[in-house]
Amino acid sequence: MKKLRMTKTAKNNFVTYFIVLIAYIVVQMLLKTGHMSSLMEGLLVPLCIYVMLAISLNLTVGILGELSLGHAGFMCVGAFSGAFFSKCMDGAMPNGIRFLVALLIGAAVAGIFGILIGIPVLRLKGDYLAIVTLAFGEIIKNLVNVLYIGKDNNGFHFSMKDSISLHLGEEGQVIVNGAQGITGTPHDAGFTVGILLIFLSLFIILNLINSRDGRAIMSIRDNRIAAESTGINITKYKLMAFSISAAIAGVAGVLYAHNLSTLTALPKNFGYNMSIMILVFVVLGGIGNIRGSIISAVILTLLPELLRGLSDYRMLIYAIVLIAMMLFNWSPKAIEWKDKIKEKYFSKVSFRKEKEVK
C-alpha cells in the first residue's frame, strides 16, 4: 500500500518535471532551427521568472493558505541584492561562480526578509494579512528607490538622499543610484539557466509538500485550530512556508536582474501590479496546483503576445478572457454544467479517490 502511494504522488510530480523538460527541448529545437521570432526569444527568460514567481506564490497561497499581495517585494529584494553583489564582484571571480553566489545571496536575503516580515504579518487574519503584505511590497519598492550605495577605496558608502551625499573618493563608483537603480549588471543568465532554476524550485517545493513539514503546513491551511491541537507549531511552519516562498521569489529576482542592463524599481515590475498579476496566475492555474501554476503562468504571459496582432484590443481581450475563464472554472453553475456534460459523455462515475497534490 505504501509503495503504491509514494509512487502515485511521485509519478504525478514526474509528469510536472517532464512537461518542463519537454518545453525546454521544444524551445531549443525551435531556436536551433531558427523558427523562433525574436519577440518570443525575448520572452523566454521572463517566462522562467514568472513560472518561478507563480509556483513560489502558490506555496504561500495554495499550500499554506495565506493570501500574499506583496510577492513582488521579495523578487525586488532578491534582484537588488543579487545585482549588487554581481556588480561589486564583477571580474573578481569566474562568472559562473559569481552568478551562483549571487543567486544564493538573492535567495538568502529574500528568505530573511520573508522571516522578518512573516513574524509580525502571519499573526494577522486573512484580508488584513493581504493588505499588510501589499503594504510591505510597496514599502520595499519605495525604499529601494531612495537607496544610494557607492564603493570606493574606503569601503562602502550609504545614503538615503542622493549620490552626492555618498562622498565618494576619486576611484569611487556608485552602485545603487537611487531611482536609477543598478546599471551594468553582467548578463549571465539565459534560458537554460532559467529552466535549471525552475527545476530546482520545483524540486524544493514539490519535495517540501510531500514531506512531514509539508503536511504540517497544509494542516494549518485546512484547520488551524485542529493543527494546533495535534501538536503542530503554527508559527514555525507558517514562517517556513513563507520564507521558502520568498527565497524562491528572490532567486527569480536575481535571474531578472541579470537579464537587464538597468535594474530599477518601478511600479510595473516590483509594485502591487506585479504581485497581483502573479496571483492571477496562481488562482487561474489552481490554488495548490503547482503544475497548474506553471501552465497558467506560461499561457497568461504568452497570451498578450499572441494577441499582438490585435494590437490595441489585446489587453482588452486579455481582460475578457481572464473574466471568462474565472467564471467558467469557478462559478458553481458552470461547474454543475460541466459535471453534467462529463456524466453524459464519460459514463464512468468518478469517485474522487485522491486529489493529488500537484
Partner 1 sequence: MSLLEVRNLTISFGGLRAVDDFNIEIKKGQLYGLIGPNGAGKTTVFNLLTGVYKPNEGIIKLEDKDITGLKTIDINKAGIARTFQNIRLFKELTVLDNVKVGLHNHYHYSTIEGILRLPKYYKVEKEMDERAMELLKVFELDGEAEYLASNLPYGKQRKLEIARALATDPKLLLLDEPAAGMNPNETGELMDTIRFVRDKFDMTILLIEHDMKLVSGICEELTVLNFGRILAQGQTGTVLNDPQVITAYLGE
Partner 2 sequence: MSFISYLINGISLGSVYAIIALGYTMVYGIAKMLNFAHGDVIMVGSFAVFTIVSTLGLPPILGILVAVVVCTILGMAIERVAYKPLRNAASPLAVLITAIGVSYLLQNVALLIFGANTKSFTSVVTISPLKLADGQLMISGETIVTIIAGIVIMICLTLFVNKSKAGQAMLAVSEDKGAAQLMGINVNGTIALTFAIGSALAAIAGVLLCSAYPSLTPYTGAMPGIKAFVAAVFGGIGSIPGAMIGGILLGIIEILGKAYISSQMADAIVFAVLIIVLLVKPTGILGKNIQEKV
Which residues would be at the binding site for partner 1 (CB under 8 A)?
1-2, 5-6, 203-204, 207-208, 211-216, 218-219, 221-223, 225-234, 240, 288, 351-355
Half-sphere exposure of residue 101: CA atoms within 13 angstroms, side-chain side: 14
CB nearer partner 2, residue 255 or residue 284: 284
Binding mask 2-21 for partner 2 (x = CB under 8 A): --------------------
**123 contact choice in partner 1, partner 2, none (CB below 5 to 8 Å, kind-dependent):** partner 2
Beta bridge partners of 148: 159, 177
- For partner 2, the binding residue among 310, 320, 340, 341 (CB under 8 A) is 320
Which among 11-19, 52-60, 123-131, 235-243 is the span making contact with partner 2, rule CB under 8 A?
123-131
| 150 within 8 A of 174, measured Cβ to Cβ | yes
- Compute CA distances 316 → 143, 202, 304, 320, 322, whole Å: 33, 33, 10, 6, 10
Please, what is the minimum distance in Å from the beta carbon of residue 196 to partner 2?
A: 30
Half-sphere exposure of residue 322: CA atoms within 13 angstroms, side-chain side: 17
- Which of these, 55, 76, 358, 117, lies nearest to 242 by C-alpha position? 117
- For partner 2, the binding residue among 18, 327, 339, 340 (CB under 8 A) is 327
Which among 31-39, 80-88, 255-263, 277-285 is the span making contact with partner 2, rule CB under 8 A?
277-285
230: contact with partner 2 by CB under 8 A: no
CA distance 62 to 286: 8
**207 contact choice in partner 1, partner 2, none (CB below 5 to 8 Å, kind-dependent):** partner 1
The size of the chain, in residues, is 358
CA angle 254, 258, 263 (to 5 degrees): 85
**SS3 state at 12:** helix
Beta bridge partners of 155: 152
**176 contact choice in partner 1, partner 2, none (CB below 5 to 8 Å, kind-dependent):** none
Give the number of other CB atoms < 10 A from CB of residue 65: 18
CA distance 13 to 211: 13
Please, what is the minimum distance in Å from the beta carbon of residue 248 to partner 1?
A: 12
CB nearer partner 2, residue 24 or residue 136: 136
CB nearer partner 2, residue 48 or residue 290: 290
Residues contacting 320, CB < 8 A, separation 6+ = none
CB nearer partner 2, residue 44 or residue 61: 61
148: contact with partner 2 by CB under 8 A: no
For strands 148-152 and 173-177, give the pairing: antiparallel
**97 contact choice in partner 2, partner 1, none (CB below 5 to 8 Å, kind-dependent):** none
- For partner 2, the binding residue among 280, 299, 303, 307 (CB under 8 A) is 280
22: contact with partner 2 by CB under 8 A: no
Please, what is the minimum distance in Å from the beta carbon of residue 339 to partner 2?
A: 13
CA distance 168 to 184: 19
- Compute CA distances 278 → 202, 283, 348, 352, whole Å: 17, 9, 36, 29
Q: Which helix (H) or strand (E) holds 148?
A: strand 148-152
Please, what is the minimum distance in Å from the beta carbon of residue 136 to partner 1?
A: 25
CA angle 130, 241, 204 (to 5 degrees): 135
In the complex, the residues that contact partner 2 under the rule CB under 8 A are: 61, 67, 120, 123-125, 127-128, 131-132, 134-136, 138-139, 142-143, 145-146, 179, 225, 272, 276, 279-280, 283-284, 287, 312-313, 315-316, 318-320, 322-323, 326-327, 329-334
